[in-house]
Amino acid sequence: MKGGLYWVYTTCPLEGEFAGKAREELSIDEFHQNLGHVSHERARMLVKKELVDGVDLDMASNES
């Protein structure tokens, strides 16, 4: 464990398959909370510029 993350060692590198691979649609508030309360504007920018993977942001959602 390093910085709260675990390193998984394998002798056979994974090629496009992941256990529990799933996409999740989040509201802007949920995504904002998951990112440690970064601004809503920055959270949207991360998705628009494809700097995050595995998250579908509901762009129609509004911050509360």
Query: For all residues of the chain together, what is the average pLDDT?
Result: 77
Q: Identify whether 42 is part of a domain.
A: yes
pLDDT given for residue 18 in this prediction: 59
pLDDT given for residue 20 in this prediction: 58
Q: Identify whether 18 is part of a domain.
A: no
Distances from the Cα of 22 to the Cα of 1, 9, 11, 53, 54, angstroms? 24, 22, 24, 11, 7
Domain of 30?
24-57
Token pair, residue 40, equals: 């809503």
The single-letter DSSP state of residue 52 is S
Q: Identify whether 51 is part of a domain.
A: yes
Q: Identify whether 5 is part of a domain.
A: no
pLDDT band for position 10 (cuts 50, 70, 90): low
Q: Is the pLDDT of residue 4 over 70?
A: no
Cβ atoms 40, 59 nearer than 8 A: no
Q: Is the pLDDT of residue 60 over 70?
A: yes
